[in-house]
Amino acid sequence: MTTGGATKKQAAFINKLISQDISLNEVLEKYLLHHNIARISDLSVKEASEVIGILKNSGEKKHSRGETTANDASHKQLSFIHDLQVNEERSSHVSTFLEARGKKALEELSSSEASDLISDLKGMPAMDAENRGSRLISSRQLKFISSMQKTDQINEKVLRYLKKVRKGSVEELYSWEASDLISSIRNRDP
């Protein structure tokens, strides 16, 4: 039996891998049983490195077979990225983002990478009026919100909402977000 020695970073990384894909716990348990080791902290540095390699390889095999793990981008994230690609500039940014990370498709992104891409896309400038499309705030909604911004309280509410949805201006809101903001203003929600 091994006397221990796995570094804290190795143990933390093994736990992270398992937390991202619970099925890897079975792979770890088989390794520990086969080597007569009671727990992760009893692994030597060399054994911990071997376990990390096995777990990473198992996760990659599952991914290449089309199985998803907790670390993969969610369907909701991927759908949102598709929705945010409303013009050539944004589509080009997505392609560049994927290429920089060695990915061929959105489905290959991790959850963290998808979040970064969504933040990038949401931070891009608003489209001009003729390219706005029906999904973004209507001119009527924009006029209404502008007409309501007469007090500091309403202005603060609008700024809080923009920060919440990660938009730089009211013009960047989607129609449904504008409706939500208008309802909030009308109902005097905090």
Beta-carbon contacts of 155 under 8 Å, excluding residues fewer than 6 positions away, are: 149
Q: Exposed, middle or buried: residue 151 (CB in 10 Å: 0-12, 13-18, 19+)?
A: exposed
- pLDDT beyond 70 at 190: no
Percent of the chain with pLDDT over 70: 84
Alpha-helix runs per DSSP H in 65-189: 75-84, 88-100, 111-123, 139-148, 152-164, 175-186
- pLDDT beyond 80 at 59: no
Percent of the chain with pLDDT over 90: 4
Q: Rounded to whole angstroms, how far apart are CA atoms 181 and 53?
A: 49
Higher pLDDT, 4 or 15: 15
pLDDT tens digits, 117-173: 998 888 876 655 444 445 688 888 889 898 888 888 888 999 998 998 888 888 888
Report the predicted TM-score, pTM, of the whole model to 2 decimal places. Answer: 0.36
List the chain domain ranges: 8-64, 75-124, 130-186
Running DSSP on this structure, what letter comes out for residue 129? G
pLDDT tens digits, 35-55: 898 888 888 888 888 888 888
Going from the C-alpha of 25 to that of each of 3, 70, 98, 138, 151, the distances in angstroms are 22, 13, 30, 50, 56
pLDDT tens digits, 85-127: 877 888 888 999 999 889 888 888 888 899 899 988 888 766 5
